[in-house]
Amino acid sequence: MTVVAMPEAPPRTTTTEPASLLWAAERNVYPRRPRCMRMSRHVAFLFLSIGLLLSGCSSSSDDPGDEGYAGPTLPARTFTEDKWEEGPAEPRGHNPYPYDVNTHCGIKWLEFGGRWWVLDSVFPGVEQVRGTPPAEDVQRIAGYMTLIGPDAANFDAAGMPTMQFVPAEEEPPGCA
């Protein structure tokens, strides 16, 4: 029988001394973690892996060239001559409301939710409404207004980019 000499361990004390930590580091000897801690690390790794897998598989995209692109989500609207859609007096956020825009003087100003809005940004690219774009010679576009926040509202119509409006500080001037 062969006897192997074990390295001498530092004397045990009630406080952790730097010498004892150095001895443990040099010999790669560390106290074992409790079983519950080892298990939770494995479980955390498993959940992280599943989460990454699911987020990669179910990604949706707004870029028509991407694999997860869902396309426009709202159906195209057509206006009727005897009815003008203006949305509710007090719109709720992130809810698209049927809305008709008068284009006689351009699409710079509009009234929605009891106040005036002015065009701030146009987001070309992804269309939010499926269908054919309106004819160029019409002076009315049927689409949707969506209150994004207290100071932003989007107008979307078939074949058109999203137009973002912000509250106007004054009433619009007359048509020039």
- Please write the tens of the pLDDT for every residue from 125-167: 777 888 888 777 788 999 999 999 999 999 999 988 899 999 9
d(CA 118, CA 105): 13
120 close to 149: Cβ distance less than 8 angstroms: no
% of the chain surpassing 70 pLDDT:
58
- pLDDT confidence of 9, banded at 50, 70, 90? low
% of the chain surpassing 90 pLDDT:
34
Can you tell me the mean pLDDT for 102-120? 92
- pLDDT confidence of 175, banded at 50, 70, 90? confident
Q: Other C-beta atoms within 10 Å of 128: how many?
A: 22
Reply yes or no on whether the pLDDT at 58 is more than 60. no
Torsion sign, CA atoms 113, 118, 121, 125: positive
Reply yes or no on whether the pLDDT at 61 is more than 50. no
Can you tell me the mean pLDDT for 104-131? 89
Q: What angle do CA 154, 73, 56 make, to 5 degrees?
A: 105
| Confidence at residue 10, expressed as pLDDT on a 0 to 100 scale | 55
- What Å distances lie between residue 39 and 29, 35, 46, 158, 167, CA to CA? 20, 6, 11, 54, 55
Reply yes or no on whether the pLDDT at 176 is more than 60. no
